[in-house]
Amino acid sequence: MEKGANILELINQKRIDGYKYLYANFYPSLCSFASSFFKQNDLVEDIVQDVFIRLWRSDSKFNSTRALKSYLYFSVKNACLNSIRDNSKLSDIDFSSDKEIQTIVLEDKSIEQLLIEEEFYRQIHVAIEKLSPERKRIILLSLEGFSNKEIAEELDISINTVKSLKLRAYSVLRKELSWSVLLFLIKMMK
């Protein structure tokens, strides 16, 4: 978390500005994490919103940003698993144990692995939001799998302009992201 102890203080004091920051910075990655359980966007969004509401209503206090992040991701995981169990009509699969659900839904990825990936996605999202609108658009199209030529056609600009804006965007992202997150981003773009 960028603001560290300050955000913890705001969350622990139930201050709205702290929750706004938390929601803005974690909602997309928590939805992405929940979508590894469900493909229905409405259900994913409801589950994540419920987790934020439960956090607001709870008396939980956090002594570190790591504890807060763990709380959010594990709350979403548990809410997803509870939803699967409660709504077994969504599938013909026997949901008799959490281990079976995780194996089926998470496609052999451990929860820890998913948490790391989602934290990387969150950091990438925050860094991309800092780019200028044209650079941001080019990076987002690259993440969607568009080639430089396709981006140029989509945005009605030259391929050289796309390359130039992409290089400048990478320069900004290199400064914003750690090496491990940057390597993850590069892997996503292949």
How much is the pTM?
Answer: 0.55
Mapping DSSP to helix (H, G, I), strand (E, B) and coil, where does residue 108 land? coil
What pLDDT is attached to residue 5?
Answer: 62
Residue 117 belongs to a domain? no
- Residue-number span of the structural domain to which 20 is assigned: 1-109
What pLDDT is attached to residue 45?
Answer: 92
- How many CB atoms lie under 10 A from the CB of residue 115? 19
Q: What CATH number does the domain containing 38 carry? A: 1.10.1740
The two tokens of residue 4 are: 């560290």
Q: In this structure, are 73 and 140 located in the same domain?
A: no
Q: In this structure, are 178 and 100 located in the same domain?
A: no
- How many CB atoms lie under 10 A from the CB of residue 41? 11
> pLDDT per residue over 83-141, tens digit each?
887 775 544 444 444 444 444 444 445 666 767 777 788 888 888 889 999 999 999 88
Instruction: List Cα–Cα distances, 170 to 138, 141, 159, 179, in angstroms.
Output: 11, 14, 16, 12
